[in-house]
Amino acid sequence: MAGMTYGSLLDGDSRYMGYALREAERALECGEVPVGCVIVHDGQIVGKAHNQRETLQDPTAHAEILAITQAAAHFRSWRLEGAKLYVTLEPCPMCAGAIILARIAEVHFGAFDPKAGVCGSLMNLLEDPRFNHRPRVCPGLLAGECGDILTRFFRRIREGAGIPKPRASCDDI
Amino acid sequence: MAGMTYGSLLDGDSRYMGYALREAERALECGEVPVGCVIVHDGQIVGKAHNQRETLQDPTAHAEILAITQAAAHFRSWRLEGAKLYVTLEPCPMCAGAIILARIAEVHFGAFDPKAGVCGSLMNLLEDPRFNHRPRVCPGLLAGECGDILTRFFRRIREGAGIPKPRASCDDI
């Protein structure tokens, strides 16, 4: 994807994942683990966020949680029926749980997370018939690009190059 | 517990669960599913919240998530190591996930939730050795009282008496 403008040459689901990747890039610039998320309803982006755990010093500030809260504010409703969520990394239990509670219709994720992912890696919460809602799950969309940005982040840490200190706010990026 | 003042005659863990029950009562008064939560660190309450899903129209506004975010703000840190969480209902996947991410040391819950609880009912996320943190889990504290308030709420709905319309803010209760 080097040199490619996300959203310009891609269609449909890949285009939305491209926007999620842009959000992940913003997280990287803020010194956050680079994960991005967008939520789409009827072709309109109604939620868009990146991981802000360090910036906000809030353990719940994952990209998906922030995007879901934004989308709910957009609709003035906690029910996000019909919405599609695009996230660059396989959701963790917290985010998978929020996706179920919000009744999101469809989840596209990029890279698998073998350490904490619960949408196919450690387990599959989103397809567990015991919960009262089951979104459609589409794994592996732009998985290479979504994994690459994480690899870059963790390589930088391993090489001791450090990471940018999180700012009080990343909103200006 | 009728007529009893929570916190006056109880010691330690039960006293903190009493405060969580007070929060659940506030949720009930707001027309919310009555679940309350407090977070304690070194004997000090650092987070206290009740379910506000309807009031805020936010699917992530469970008592535990709100209390965790409060506690993180108190410490200006997403790491809540050493903290104890008291919640009147067994956590769902979203809240159990947030508890793991926040590295909370100990979780006390009251009533089991056979439909969505993942701390013993449907599964046990908090004791899954594959996650990088495992809190101590203590189920069933003041289970009768914690279950009773939920029973009252759902009986009221079944009997058609309706529930109070959620207000824009419950902060004045």
pLDDT in tens, A12-32: 999 999 999 999 999 999 999
State residue A2's pLDDT score. Answer: 43
| SS3 at position B3 | coil
Averaged pLDDT score across all residues of chain A: 91
- For helices B93-101 and A93-101, the axis angle rounded to 10 degrees is 150
Closest residue on chain B to A114 (Cα): B130
Which of chain B's residues have a Cβ under 8 Å away from the Cβ of A77?
57
Nearest to B59 among A68, A93, A118 (CB): A68
Residues B77-89 have pLDDT tens digits of 999 999 999 999 9
Residue contact A73–B58, C-beta within 8 A? yes
| SS3 at position A108 | strand
Residue contact A98–B96, C-beta within 8 A? no
Nearest to A65 among B60, B77, B125 (CB): B60
- How far is it, in rounded angstroms, from Cα B68 to Cα A159? 33
State residue A160's pLDDT score. Answer: 79
Mutate to test the interface with B, among A46, A68, A94 (most CBs of B within 10 A): A94
Distance from CA of B16 to the nearest CA of A (A): 23
Which of chain B's residues have a Cβ under 8 Å away from the Cβ of A97?
92-97
Degrees (nearest 5) of the Cα angle B153, B154, B155? 95
ipTM attached to this prediction = 0.91
- How far is it, in rounded angstroms, from Cα B144 to Cα B171? 27
Closest residue on chain B to A77 (Cα): B57
State residue A9's pLDDT score. Answer: 53
pTM: 0.91
Mutate to test the interface with A, among B60, B104, B113, B134 (most CBs of A within 10 A): B60
State residue A159's pLDDT score. Answer: 87
Query: Catalytic residues of B, which ones?
Result: 64
Distance from CA of A151 to the nearest CA of B (A): 20
Q: What are the helix (H) ranges across B1-159?
A: 12-29, 53-56, 63-75, 93-101, 143-158
Closest residue on chain A to B60 (Cα): A98
State residue B46's pLDDT score. Answer: 98
Return all residues near B125 (Cβ < 8 A) that are at least 6 apart.
A93, B93, B96, B97, B100, B118, B119, B131
Are B100 and B34 within 8 A, CB to CB?
no
Residue A32 annotated among the catalytic residues of the structure: no
Distance from CA of B132 to the nearest CA of A (A): 8
Q: What is the pLDDT along chain B (173 residues), one digit of tens a residue?
A: 444 444 445 579 999 999 999 999 999 999 999 999 999 999 999 999 999 999 999 999 999 999 999 999 999 999 999 999 999 999 999 999 999 999 999 999 999 999 999 999 999 999 999 999 999 999 999 999 999 999 999 999 888 766 666 555 665 55
Residues A94-142 have pLDDT tens digits of 999 999 999 999 999 999 999 999 999 999 999 999 999 999 999 999 9
Distance from CA of B115 to the nearest CA of A (A): 7
